[in-house]
Amino acid sequence: MIRRPGTVLALLTGLNLLNYLDRLVVSAVLPKVQEELGLSNFQGGLLATVFLVGYFLTSPIFGSLGDRFPRRGLIAAGVLVWSLATMGSGLAMGIGSLLLARAVVGIGEASYATLAPTIIDDVTPPRRKGRALAVFYMATPVGAALGYLVGGFVESRWGWRAAFLVAGGPGVLLAATCLLIAEPERKLATEKADVLRDVRKLTRVDLYRRGVVGYCAYTAAIGAFSYWAPKFLYARYALPLATANFRFGIVTVIGGAIGTILGGRWADRRSNAPLPEAKPEVGATGGDDPDAARARDREAERARVKKLLKICATGSALGAPLAAGAFLSPSPTVFFILVFLAITVLFLNTSPINAVVLQAVPTELRASAMALSIFSIHIFGDLWSPPLVGLLADHVPIELAMMTLPAAIAASAWLWWPRRAATAA
């Protein structure tokens, strides 16, 4: 059995690399898929949408199950399903079968993305939770970059179908390793599963609510940005597709890794900074009043979550103008410089916002909180942004269509920025 926290983190992070590789390989080969299957930009964007339909519709179900039952079997099943469906994408003969395959990829990834972070949070000491989540979520830019690099490399030699087969194979082989994870003891939800009841409890937590609403705007921008970037470079600057994928992949992995690591360390420093000590209240027995002690603990936790939200707001406030400059840049060189800086500051948010999702809610609802977050950021975020950008790009120059994304990033900064007063949960 796998018991050591570092080994658990390494395994789940490695599988998260495959998660994002399989998710983004479609973006790397999209222009060639469009050419062979005769798809418009709007139809190309729908491939991202159906993936997310499968993803967000099932994530609350996996979250509710994960709060009540062992998680390793659900995670292993998710890895196997998404990997087989990725390989099936390479066998698609038309738009219908390709849409179906991408929807099933989303179902498999929903199980993994909902439950894996909760295990990492369980096994990690409190002072290192931010860094652990940063390592796990560093797989987002690295895996996305691998999707561009692997997709572009394989497509240029053996075609776009082979790219899907190569991307899905490793997950099929590694899925069973998740069954070896020794889950730590935890408090399980004892009530009968009721997704709507859990949602009502979570939406009453004001800091969780603010975090997720801002996350929706952020995800809408990042989702469409990552999906259309290779096509943008291919259409705007006439770069060969393999070159566009390679350069954007390198920029993504370096900028994303730097931003994610810095964001995790920043989150740990802000979360672990000492807070002003409140004077203990004396109870009837002469000791510290238990109710007052619990209230102080809740307020201290809220203060930490507010600090994490400010990190997220700062990253988005810096990233919005950089992204706008990148899309309007006159040359690919300027684009890559600005987009490297934009990716770096935007990925500062990765660890802090997921820490907000986990730490703003009661322990027994963390899996449900992660699931509701995933559901929300996709149904209100990148479910609609790739096809919307694609639809705009069918009628206006693609650089103008992409300018909707910095506006969404700026909205996330405003939503996350600290308020003078907040109502307690």
pLDDT at 266 over 90: no
Closest CA to 88 of 1, 130, 396, 80: 80
How much is the pTM? 0.71
Q: For residue range 1-46, what is the model confidence (pLDDT) as tens digits?
A: 787 878 888 999 999 899 889 888 998 899 899 989 988 888 888 9
Q: Is the pLDDT of residue 138 over 50?
A: yes
pLDDT of residue 424: 39
pLDDT digits (tens, 9 = 90+) for 76-86: 988 999 999 99
| C-alpha to C-alpha distances, 419 to 207, 310, 313, 372, nearest whole angstrom | 11, 10, 12, 23
pLDDT level of residue 282 (50, 70, 90 thresholds): low
pLDDT band at 56, cuts 50/70/90?
Answer: confident
At 186 the pLDDT is 58
Identify the pLDDT of residue 425.
Answer: 37
Distances (CA, A) of 192 to 188, 336, 368: 11, 51, 13
The beta-carbon contacts of 94-101 under 8 Å, at least 24 apart in sequence, are 94/37, 95/37, 95/39, 95/43, 98/33, 98/37, 98/47, 99/46, 99/47, 99/50, 100/50
pLDDT at position 363, please? 74
Percent of the chain past pLDDT 90, that is, above it, reads: 32
Which CATH code, of 1.20.1250.20, 3.60.10.10, 1.10.3720.10, 2.60.120.1090, is assigned to 5-276+287-416?
1.20.1250.20
pLDDT at position 166 is 94
What is the three-state SS of 198-266?
HHHHHHCCHHHHHHHHHHHHHHHHHHHHHHHHHHHHHHHCCCCHHHHHHHHHHHHHHHHHHHHHHHHHH
Domain limits, the chain: 5-276+287-416
Q: For the stretch 66-79, what's the b/e string if a residue is b when 16 or more beta carbons lie within 10 angstroms of its beta carbon?
A: bbbeebbebbbbbb
Q: Per-residue pLDDT for 423 more than 50?
A: no
Query: What is the rounded average pLDDT of the residues 132-156?
Result: 86
Question: pLDDT per residue over 210-239, tens digit each?
Answer: 999 999 999 999 989 988 998 899 889 999
Average pLDDT over residues 118-131: 78
| Mean of the per-residue pLDDT values of the chain | 84
